[in-house]
Structure 1
Amino acid sequence: MDKIEALKQELEQTKLAYQMAAQLSQFKSGFLVKTSHELRSPLSSLMGLHQLILSDLCESPEEQREFIAEAYQAAQKLMNMIDEIMTVSKIEYGKITLQNQVIPLARVFSQLHELTHLQATNRSLTVTIIPLESEVYIKADSQRFLQALVTLVDAGITIAQSGKITISTNLQQGKNYAQINLNFPNSFELWQAEKVSYDLTQVSLESIKAFSHQVDISPGLKFLLCQTLLEKMGGQLTLIDLSSSNDSKPLTQLVLLIPLASDQEVDYLEEDE
């Protein structure tokens, strides 16, 4: 029986590795297209607002200032999106060096819960992090690793209606990485949905306001950016559709692999402390 269980685990790990390789190839090939499409949204919002002003459709100077204020907010969001994409690109090409170090995973989870649980509560969601049975130390850039986890949870919260987000950790015997599973109560398709393009023929203050307030990086591109970031730390990230095994309720699992710190590195850390 032990041999059968070991074979099953090995089969699951092989399947997971295949899915990761396939998704990596798919996402990488469409990165430029996805990024260009994402940046069209805030640009379209800006063009729509300026079109209203240039067409003398403002009813008063106050309304014109309101349009300009909306355009400025859209421009800020656009800059933030570009900055986020550029930072990950610089890390990928070595212009920004990651500071990988030994980190207790429990501390990262504590920070993650603190940074995300209020946002989840506001959307009728709960974030449950299953506690580790023993202390686990990983090797990663502390700031960037936490940033990736927060970004992924934030993306899941954005597209979920209600339910529970569960985060757990598995340690495979003989493996040199920790497997972090993030379960989200939303469909697999929502993580791959494209941004909706803005129709410049339908111009009104209300429609542009509504659109500019929704401007953000899509869950799909956030996933890709985090995937790229984690790869530079020696990790991996993939998406798995678990809806069929969840009584047909939507359930998507993000599987994150991150290197474990060696015993020698952990001992050295404890000596310093």
Structure 2
Amino acid sequence: MADTGKYFCPRLLDYLVIAGCHFPNGNNQMSQTPELLRRYPLEDHKDFPLPNDVIFFCQPEGCISVGPKRMSLRETTSFVFTLTEKDSGLVRYGICINFYRPFEKRAHSSEGWQKVDKSSTGSNHSVETLSSSECDRPRSKSRRKSRIRNNTLTSLCIVSHHPFFSTFRECLFILRRLIEACHDRSCVRRVGGSKATARDTVWGVLTGQTSDNISSLVMHEVREIETWILRLLSAPVPVPGKTRVEVSQCD
């Protein structure tokens, strides 16, 4: 437990954040500046605003994209960092897990535009319509070939006054599995087997790639995830020597 002689924080968790890139670079191994993709709660606590540099502690070498590869939970890395307030000396802890999240990029997206540029002004509309229909053809062979599945570094991080490292780490592992299960489930259940765009997915919403056409199915899954997060944030902190809090996974 933290040094309760000086200060005792009544919150078990202060913040939960998602860090990465809103729009990952298609060029592999090129580092991008990490961004705060999502945070809970949305408002700062009066006694402890969320530090702006948390994202750089999560991804100190920048947000990196890598080529297609087989991913697994075993490839998740976890670590702890500290945030020390200079004036008071108060220490907060960041418990972070990093992993590579798949995202799709178009392999021949520029080719369609080249065709438009080479066409006459009067035929631009027909060429663009053809290009769009080719891209939107569900599960077609040409579409599968036109997509390359890359992976971008993504961070889930808990910030807390309390050093319950193993428990918080397990919560982050559970959260990652929950997000991926909801993401996959929403993609499988799409009406007519239509393919989701990058923005109209659970990961798309959570990473800030929102659009006006988010399906009710995706929003339902996002609400399930956010309800789980808010319940975790509302968990009371145990009083040393008097009470304890048990965190368990429910089906």
TM-score higher than 0.5: no
More strand by share: 2
TM-score range, shorter chain: under 0.3
Compute the TM-score of the two structures, normalised by the length of structure 2: 0.24
More helix by share: 1
Compute the TM-score of the two structures, normalised by the length of structure 1: 0.22
